[in-house]
Amino acid sequence: MKYRSAFDIIGPIMIGPSSSHTAGAARIGRVARTLFERQPRKAVISFYGSFAKTYKGHGTDLAIVAGLLDFDTFDERIPDSLKIAEQSGMEVIFKTEDAVPDHPNTVKINLYDGDIQLEVIGISIGGGTIEITEINSFKLKLSGDPAILVIHEDRFGIISSVTSILAKYQINIGHMEVARKEKGETAIMVIEVDQKIEDKIIEELKKLQNVTRVIRMVE
């Protein structure tokens, strides 16, 4: 993982005690909330590696839930996030897993609201820096920077159509990848960009043939 500035190492403005176990965890939770596009009714949070051993002492549990409530890393309500979640009707279940993860600070978040479900796997790298490595079993890389996710049918020309719209609005792409499980089935396009994505761009992308959803990530 390459750090882009000293602030990636120092970490963000945050409620402590740890940039990786607290700030990073809050960011993972908030990205999961953004992907789910609503506050979940139920969240099952599974910790792996170092997270599984220290999540209570470092406040990782509080931070993940705070992110699911759409709190930022510096929100003073983070210490009360479990109580706030309960008051808002969100059921939260914590699990620790024995499986050895690829990264020691790994969490799997399963979100539910009726028939709607989402599974997100994320890692906290340090200094508040994170990566989302799986979304509903689609393996990818999402850092939580300004980005859009384009969920689409795997068809010829769709990547060109999306990038043409971004080029029209002079949006510079910093990182892009496409994940799919089967040829011709559903695919996810992850596009990290350097500028803010305006509503009109999102709406134009949504109108493209074979695009089913467009999600703008937390900036």
Q: What is the pLDDT of residues 37-51, one digit of tens each?
A: 999 999 999 999 999
**Strand-strand pairing, 91-96 and 42-48:** parallel
Domains and CATH numbers, the chain: 8-136 (3.30.1330.90), 147-216 (3.30.70.260)
Task: Dump pLDDT digits (tens) for 103-143.
Answer: 889 999 999 999 999 999 999 987 778 999 999 999 988 88
pTM of the model: 0.83
Give CA–CA dist 101/7, Å, rounded. Answer: 27
Q: Are 46 and 57 in contact (CB under 8 A)?
A: no
Produce one character per residue of 6-20: b if its CB has 16 or more CB atoms within 10 Å, e if not: eebeebbebbeebbb
Question: Minimum mean pLDDT among 18-22, 110-114, 181-185: which range?
Answer: 18-22
Produce one character per residue of 62-77: b if its CB has 16 or more CB atoms within 10 Å, e if not: bbbbbbbbebbbebee
